Amino acid sequence: MSLFKRDKTSTSDNGGQANLARLALNSIHDGVMITDKSGVVKFINPAAIAMTECGSFENATGLSYNMLIRLQSKEGRELSENENPLVQAMNTNQPLEHFVACLIGVSSGKVIPIALSVTPADDGQGDRVITFRNVTKELAEEGEQAEFISTASHEMRTPVATIDGYLSLALNPQTATIDERARGYLSAAQAASKHLGKLFQDLLDVTKLDDGRIRPHLMPMEMVGAIKQISDAHAMRAAEAKINYRFGSDDPSAFSNARHLEQVVYGFVDPDFLREIMDNLIDNAIKYTPTGGSIYVNVRGDGDRVLINVTDTGIGISSEDIGHIFQKFYRADNSDTREIGGTGLGLYLVKQRVESMGGRVWAESGFGEGSTFFVSLPRITGEEYEKRMIVIRNQQALQAQAAAPAPVQPAPAATPPAPPVAPVSPPVAPPAPTQPQTQPQQNINQNGGTR
């Protein structure tokens, strides 16, 4: 029974219930703030007053929530509205779950890590409930765990690679002779060792990301073309699994992709993060869609956001599971998913990568009804894209100049030296990427950016 809703006739009881609710809100350690639909604070509990350092209930009420909840990233940069998932959730009246960022105290400027959630209230007035929790202790414990996981996975990857290598030799007819039954056993062992290798790699990626060793290197990018290239690389695998794949439309009867490809949408993203996000979402769409199903990938501009969706007609996600799928190691447990392998880390990685670029990811689905995963990323204008590209080209030209061998000094000669000759053409070639890519880059890193 709700503490706030009761039989309308029992007025005195209503007062009692309201007191109990106030008592509960005043004694919990989590910050709670309730705003109206335009974000003006109507209620704030003592924990939120202490964390935001706003002084008192009276000071806070009537102010906009974003004057009290100022956030900065792990790297210490104050989040602009454009890259702040809290602002996006408040503006669109969408739920936000467990967004971790650093809260800047309004009076001392002291910073504490918090986990933030937003819940649209179902009171018919468009109120929003913002809750936040100090996660300093949790992060310290996670740090210790991460250190252990990182070392352990790193150490275990080597023997797993050795096992995999020997299994490959045993299965190769040129290096070993085995009967069919042994081949079956060894093939199963190899599939398991590959799964283990992937798990260790995912764990390493997750710990590197959690402790801030992997940071986004943002680049201006034309998003429709870039995402089409990444997505189209999965078309063959989808076809092998007998799943229809279409880019540029979620309408199966759409005449062609051309309409969507005409739209030019610019973003400011990390090209490698974008690839990982799309690869994970499309891999899942293929994995969780039975033969005969369909997958649609779409990108469009939506105000100051780039909105990407990966839609499938697969097994779907139940309402109990959907709130948890972005958590580390979470896997929906049902007869369908039990048969399909996975580590429960893919969507966690996706969420971390998206949020590190100032974006938001969420899913809409129902069990047996297919799923749509949305990714919303900051959008830049064509003008901003051009400006940023000029800066990058200039930096590349300078780097190329610095890397070019110094001109050879002419040896001293008896005859007077010739006047210095101006270079025929300036060095304009961008430097080659410094790190090998795990997959062909396919022009995603269009501006020659390196990590």
Torsion of CA 230, 233, 237, 242, to 10 degrees: 90
Q: Is 247 in the site for ligand ADP (CB under 6 A)?
A: no
Q: Is 317 in the site for ligand ADP (CB under 6 A)?
A: yes
Q: Is 288 in the site for ligand ADP (CB under 6 A)?
A: yes
Nearest to ligand ADP of 65, 326 (CB atom): 326
Cα(221)–Cα(382) distance, rounded to whole angstroms? 10
* Segment lying near ligand ADP (by CB under 6 A), choices 127-135, 344-352, 405-413, 414-422: 344-352
* Segment lying near ligand ADP (by CB under 6 A), choices 68-76, 80-88, 335-343, 417-425: 335-343
Nearest to ligand ADP of 228, 351 (CB atom): 351
Q: Is 205 in the site for ligand ADP (CB under 6 A)?
A: no
The residue behind tokens 């990058």 is 392
Cα(234)–Cα(352) distance, rounded to whole angstroms? 23
Q: Is 354 in the site for ligand ADP (CB under 6 A)?
A: no
Residue among 17, 82, 168, 337 that touches ligand ADP (CB under 6 A): 337
Cα(287)–Cα(281) distance, rounded to whole angstroms? 10
Q: Which structure tokens are listed for 156?
A: 């275990």
φ, ψ for residue 371, nearest 5 deg: -140, 150
Residue among 86, 114, 332, 354 that touches ligand ADP (CB under 6 A): 332
- CB of 156 within 8 A of CB of 149? no
Binding mask 361-400 for ligand ADP (x = CB under 6 A): ----------x-----------------------------
- CB 309 to ligand ADP: min, Å: 12
Nearest to ligand ADP of 226, 315 (CB atom): 315
* Segment lying near ligand ADP (by CB under 6 A), choices 23-31, 58-66, 95-103, 331-339: 331-339
Residue among 216, 248, 314, 358 that touches ligand ADP (CB under 6 A): 314
Nearest to ligand ADP of 214, 285 (CB atom): 285
Residue among 101, 103, 347, 354 that touches ligand ADP (CB under 6 A): 347
Residue among 331, 360, 379, 388 that touches ligand ADP (CB under 6 A): 331
Q: Is 197 in the site for ligand ADP (CB under 6 A)?
A: no
Residue among 229, 249, 343, 396 that touches ligand ADP (CB under 6 A): 343
Q: Which structure tokens are listed for 442?
A: 């396919």
- CB 295 to ligand ADP: min, Å: 9
Binding mask 157-196 for ligand ADP (x = CB under 6 A): ----------------------------------------
List the Cα angle 89/93/95 in 5-degree steps: 60
Residue among 47, 54, 101, 315 that touches ligand ADP (CB under 6 A): 315
Residue among 344, 427, 430, 431 that touches ligand ADP (CB under 6 A): 344
- CB 114 to ligand ADP: min, Å: 24
Q: With CB under 6 A, what is the number of residues at the site for ligand ADP?
A: 21
Q: Is 286 in the site for ligand ADP (CB under 6 A)?
A: no
- CB 230 to ligand ADP: min, Å: 17
Position closest to ligand ADP via CB: 342
- CB of 241 within 8 A of CB of 191? no
Residue among 284, 298, 356, 376 that touches ligand ADP (CB under 6 A): 284
Nearest to ligand ADP of 6, 328 (CB atom): 328
Q: Which structure tokens are listed for 330?
A: 């979470």
Q: Is 323 in the site for ligand ADP (CB under 6 A)?
A: no
Q: Which structure tokens are listed for 31?
A: 């910050």
Cα(302)–Cα(282) distance, rounded to whole angstroms? 22
Cα(298)–Cα(412) distance, rounded to whole angstroms? 66
Residues that bind ligand ADP (CB under 6 A): 284-285, 288, 312, 314-317, 325, 330-332, 337, 342-348, 371
